[in-house]
Amino acid sequence: MSDEKFRLHPISAIINCVKGLKDLLIPFFIIFVGKGFKFNFDPHDEGFFWDSLPILIAGVLLVLNFVSGVVKWRRFVYWFEDDELRIEYGLFVKKKRYIPFERIQSLNYQEGILHRPLQLVKVSVETAASKDKKAEAELTAITRTAADMIELEMKRAKRGKQQVKQGLAQNELLHEIDHDNKSEIDGDSASVSSQQEFRIQEDEIVQREVIHRMSVKDLLILATTSGGVGVVFSGLVAIASQFGDIIPYDYLYDEIRVFVKVGVLLVMLAVFLVLFVAWGVSFVLTLFNYYSFIVERENDKLIITRGLLEKRRVTIPLNRIQGIKIVENPLRQMFGYATVTVESAGGSMQNGEKKIILMPLVKKRDAIAALQRLFPEINWLPTLTRSPKRARPSYYKIGLLWILPVTAVVSYLFFPYGLLSLLIIPLLILLGVWQHKTAGYALDGYQLTVVYRTISRTSFFMEKKRLQQMTMRQTYFKKRIGIASLRTTIMSGSMGASATIAHFEKTDIEKLMAWYEPNAKSAYDVEKSISEP
Amino acid sequence: MSAEPKYQISRKGLSVWRVYGSIQTLIILLVAIGAGVLTWLFEWYWWIYIVCAVVPIVFGFLFIYLFPKIRWDHWRYEVREQEIEVQYGLFIVVRTLVPMVRVQHVDTAQGPILKRYGLAEITISTAATTHTIPALIMAEADDLRARISELARVAEDDV
């Protein structure tokens, strides 16, 4: 193992500076706005000193920022020692961080605009402990070869551990064998170990299989529908502007007539324009973010690469995956499209991203085909148990309870137009009925599937061993009609993710609870053992 | 699914909840008195007096008498070899099952009021959730904590 210490690429100094500048932006803004953008360049003027003070402060801050960026880069070193990735950094306080290779969950790569031309990557090192949304360590910019070297070093360390274990096992074996035929055994063991080496080398040839590649057509559809709300609104405005003629301009005074007409038109145009621009921005952003979205499987890891200007590469070890969600929003559901997301334990999320998107937009049957290849042991099209008909009102009752007083107040306060709020009531009931129709669950061996709808239809696939808890809920009124709900939680990011099976037969829910009991010979197991002798 | 969990929490827990309820009611009462004084000073509507009188009484009845009683009646827990089961709730009765294998750690905690009554609460954490048993006799809580951490260590995954 080399004890050579490595430095980040000098460009990290600039990246540090840019990052620092971002933080300085708001204070700068306050300083300059506070001064009202009054500048005085006459050194003989009395107020010169006070007027130029903010510029002075800003200048000092800028220089400090630059210096700290450079020093941060100078001070940051990493090296490999004792099967650990060791990092030393810090401006005033020297910090050392040693990360054992076997603890490293994944190395995630990210290429920003500054990285691309120089073939550099930003590497985030993630361990199971990196919970508070931050990676364990970040190497701001290193060359691709350096990144590959870390990966290689990591693999070597992990393999070394295995070899040691295997070696120990072998030794034990050797000791058991009679000492008389020692020479023979030595020959044997040599051949065995060479075989092992051969196998290890075979392991090294990683198998990469493309699981999902987003087509250009799908990307365009995703981008077009990404600003969903914006599109709908601008459409509405376009329609509304057609009804402009209905507004009773004739009743208005002639003088303001023209003004109002132009005003209404202007406002509508402005709103339309704003929404259109917002949509355009989200279109472009989505295009950039999800450009060439590829999911690959490498041995027991998933690798997701995406991005046009800023390239990102996220690695998820398969055994960290806790559950999979297929989400179909109503608009996309109509065209058979779905989004697939992964709930993964620990790991830092990219800012604001709550879960990892496995397939941003994909035909549902393609998604299921890909998932089947990835997790063949999971039943992706289970037969669902549905909620009983008498549970249907439960889906909108609570909502009505909240909304009724609100509509009453609104109707009273804004009398004629306030009555329009009553329209919410049938909508709410329809949504409830729809949710009831969608809801379902399925048990397959150790697999639990929950299907529910808030607005989008979500199918949640989980394994029993990943469920952290299971809770049965029953209100007083539900008890009388034999309806109950169930909630279960899996690990996901720093918090959990929950799935709710709302308003089902109490016996069904109890069956689920029994299924969840560890080692319990549950009714379900009994059923299964009868059906499969 | 078997019958509900066996054990109830300590009877003293009910007293503790009554104390909490009394403190809350006291705060409400102070606010109500304040409102009453203001009404008298600025000659607001007369019905404000009635509201100021009724609200603390109703609040007190609910939070000192009724709710603690219902909650205490509903509280059940049981720690078995393979799992922990708790049941509680006011209007919505909730029953939670946590397998021993999923338990990450157990804490006991004791605030000033619990301490006066010789009680402690026990918090069971999994990787994603936490579950609290609110009022146990201190010795019992310590025993339970030791037992759960022991069981959690030996529990084996069945899947």
pLDDT means per 10 residues, chain B with 159 residues, are 79 93 95 92 87 93 94 93 91 92 89 91 89 91 90 72
Q: Provide the residue type at A451 as one letter.
A: V
Q: Which residues of chain A make contact with B82, given a CB cutoff of 8 A? A: 517-520
Closest Cα in chain A to B155 = A518
Q: What is the biggest distance separating any 2 CA atoms in chain B, rounded to whole angstroms? A: 71
B128 and A473: CB-CB below 8 Å? no
Interface check A514 vs B, CB under 8 A: yes
Question: How far apart, in Å, do the first and last CA atoms of chain A sit?
Answer: 56
Q: Which residues of chain A make contact with B70, given a CB cutoff of 8 A? A: none
What is the Cα–Cα distance from A286 to A308, expressed in whole angstroms? 10
Interface check A519 vs B, CB under 8 A: yes
- Beta bridge partners of residue A311, listed in sequence order: A111
pTM of this structure = 0.74
Q: Which residues of chain B make contact with A489, given a CB cutoff of 8 A? A: 126, 128-129
Q: Which residue has the tokens 């930003």?
A: A122
What is the Cα–Cα distance from A441 to A450, expressed in whole angstroms? 4
Interface check B1 vs A, CB under 8 A: yes
Phi-psi region of A292 (alpha: psi -120 to 50; beta: other; left: phi over 0): left
Interface check A496 vs B, CB under 8 A: yes
Q: Are A87 and A97 in contact (CB under 8 A)?
A: yes
Residue A237 has a pLDDT of 59
Q: Which residues of chain B make contact with A495, given a CB cutoff of 8 A? A: 128
Q: Are A110 and A99 in contact (CB under 8 A)?
A: no
Q: Locate A228 and state its tokens.
A: 């969903």
What is the Cα–Cα distance from A58 to A25, expressed in whole angstroms? 10
A518 and B93: CB-CB below 8 Å? no
3-class SS letters over A12-62: HHHHHHHHHHHHHHHHHHHHHHHHCCCCCCCCCCCCHHHHHHHHHHHHHHH
- Which of B91, B92, B102 lies nearest to residue A469, judging by beta carbons? B102
Interface check A507 vs B, CB under 8 A: no
Interface check A179 vs B, CB under 8 A: no
Closest Cα in chain B to A446 = B159
Interface check B81 vs A, CB under 8 A: no
Closest Cα in chain B to A475 = B92
What is the Cα–Cα distance from B42 to A496, expressed in whole angstroms? 52
Interface check A40 vs B, CB under 8 A: no
- Where does residue A30 rank: exposed (0-12), middle (13-18), buried (19+ CB within 10 A)? exposed
Residue A269 has a pLDDT of 84
What is the Cα–Cα distance from A273 to A277, expressed in whole angstroms? 6
DSSP B51-81: HHHHHHHHHHIIIIIIHHHHHHHH-EEEE-S
Q: Which residues of chain B make contact with A514, given a CB cutoff of 8 A? A: 1
Q: Which residue has the tokens 């579950």?
A: B131
Residues 45-74 of B with CB under 8 A from A: none
Question: How far apart, in Å, do the first and last CA atoms of chain B sit?
Answer: 19
Instruction: Give the domain B79-154 fold.
Output: PH-domain like (2.30.29)
Q: Distance, in angstroms, between B77 CA and closest chain A CA?
A: 13
- Beta bridge partners of residue A385, listed in sequence order: A441
CB pairs under 8 A between A and B: 79
3-class SS letters over A406-437: HHHHHHHHCHHHHHHHHHHHHHHHHHHHHHHH
Q: What angle do CA A7, A8, A10 make, to 5 degrees?
A: 110
Interface check B43 vs A, CB under 8 A: no
| All structural domains of chain B with their residue ranges | 11-72, 79-154
Residue A125 has a pLDDT of 85
Q: What angle do CA B114, B116, B118 make, to 5 degrees?
A: 70
What is the Cα–Cα distance from A192 to A347, expressed in whole angstroms? 39
What is the Cα–Cα distance from A296 to A316, expressed in whole angstroms? 10
Residue A160 has a pLDDT of 73
How much helix, strand and coil, in percent to the nearest 5, is found in chain A? Answer: 55, 25, 20
Half-sphere exposure (Cβ direction) of B1: Cα atoms closer than 13 Å: 20
What is the Cα–Cα distance from A273 to A279, expressed in whole angstroms? 10
Long-range contacts from B1-5, C-beta under 8 angstroms, 24+ separation: B1/A510, B1/A511, B1/A513, B1/A514, B1/A517, B4/B76, B4/B87, B4/B95, B5/B76, B5/B77, B5/B78, B5/B85, B5/B86, B5/B87, B5/B95
Interface check B102 vs A, CB under 8 A: yes
Q: Distance, in angstroms, between B41 CA and closest chain A CA?
A: 30
Q: One digit per residue, pLDDT tens: chain A, 533 residues?
A: 456 788 888 888 888 888 888 888 877 777 777 666 566 666 676 666 777 777 788 888 888 888 888 888 888 989 888 888 888 888 778 888 888 888 887 788 888 888 888 888 888 887 766 555 566 788 888 888 888 888 888 888 877 766 666 655 555 554 544 444 444 444 444 444 444 444 444 445 567 888 889 988 889 888 887 765 555 555 555 555 555 555 555 555 566 666 666 777 888 888 778 778 878 888 888 888 888 899 999 888 888 998 888 888 888 888 888 899 999 988 888 889 999 999 887 655 444 445 788 998 999 999 999 999 999 999 999 999 999 999 999 999 888 888 888 888 888 888 777 788 888 889 999 999 999 999 999 998 889 999 999 889 999 999 998 899 999 999 888 888 899 999 999 988 667 889 999 999 999 999 999 899 886 554 455 455 444 43
Instruction: Give the domain A402-531 fold.
Output: PH-domain like (2.30.29)
- What was the ipTM of the complex prediction? 0.83
A496 and B157: CB-CB below 8 Å? no
Half-sphere exposure (Cβ direction) of A486: Cα atoms closer than 13 Å: 27
Antiparallel, parallel or unpaired: β A95-100 and A104-111: unpaired
Interface check A58 vs B, CB under 8 A: no
**Beta carbons within 8 Å of A350's beta carbon, 6+ residues apart:** A312, A314
